[in-house]
Amino acid sequence: MKITMADYGVGNLHSIKKALEKNGAAVVTVTDMKDLLDAKCIMFPGVGAFDKTMERLQPYREQICERLNAGVPALGICIGAQIMFESSAEGKAPGLGFFSGTVKPLKAKIVPHMGWNTVESKDPLMNGIDSNYFYFAHSYYCDADPSDVIGTTEYEGTTFPSFFRKKNVYGTQFHPEKSGESGLEMLRNFIEAVEDLI
């Protein structure tokens, strides 16, 4: 299965590419965001700032959103999930607006929230996973429409949405590519789910 990964000039793409390929996917990395418009499955990788990440996507914002609404599968990780929302307190640029809601600062004594934490979810993408501990590294969270939330995480007494789905599009606040066997299994489930669609 071919996955088109957006290289918007921020973050390290090596880990997620390697994890997807380990699960049998063929990953093509593109620097021209126009190439996402022909993709059969899209990966929005994590790590980076909101405005900088949206910079290259902005000219194709509406067209990308149309593709996602038409059923094209996608996975956004961390900042890659956050940019699929309408806006962020971290920046001034509009997001893709596929998910309803905004990205807000995480209210906690220790920010960023870094390290291992649990994800409470009954979504099929978590099937067969022995441990629900995943790796996090973020200072903002997605204040999503409850109908799009498929998983939550508790940090310092506050529970925030950490796993999202709308149509065939998933977003994770955690980093499956940095989450050992649990993350690999989740990505394997994602690939299998997408293969059934395309």
Q: In this predicted model, what pLDDT tens digit does every residue of 12-38 receive, in sequence order?
A: 799 999 999 999 999 999 999 999 999
Residue 88 CA to residue 178 CA, distance in Å, equals 24
What pLDDT sits at residue 197? 82
Confidence of residue 135 (pLDDT cuts 50, 70, 90): very high
Which residue, 78, 81, 188, is CA-closest to 135?
Answer: 78
The strand pair at 74-77 and 26-30 is best described as unpaired
pLDDT of residue 191: 97
Asked if residue 9 has pLDDT above 90, the reply is no
113 catalytically annotated: no
CB 119 within 8 A of CB 150: no
| Structural domain count of the chain | 1
Instruction: Provide the CATH number for the domain around residue 13.
Output: 3.40.50.880
pLDDT of residue 10 exceeding 80? no
Helix (H, G, I), strand (E, B) or coil at 43: strand
Under 8 Å between Cβ of 139 and 98: no
Q: Could you give the percent of the chain with pLDDT greater than 70?
A: 100
Query: Tell me, what's the pLDDT at 48?
Result: 84
Neighbouring-strand partners of residue 158:
155
Residue numbers of the domain that contains 27: 2-195
Cα gap 76→186, rounded to integer Å: 13
The chain-wide mean pLDDT, for the chain, equals 96
Q: Which of 56, 49, 33, 106 is nearest to 82 (CA)?
A: 49
For residue 49, the Cα-to-chain-centroid distance in whole angstroms is 14
Tokens representing residue 114 in the block: 């870094």
Q: Which of 113, 142, 175, 185 is catalytic?
A: 175
Strand, coil or helix: 158: strand
Q: Is 175 assigned a catalytic role?
A: yes
Q: Tell me the three state secondary structure of residue 34.
A: helix
CA 61 to chain centre: 16
Q: Is 177 a catalytic residue?
A: yes
Confidence of residue 196 (pLDDT cuts 50, 70, 90): confident
* pLDDT (mean) for 98-123: 97
Q: What is the mean pLDDT of residues 118-125?
A: 98
Given 41, 78, 90, 113, the catalytic residue: 78
pLDDT in tens, 90-104: 999 999 999 999 999
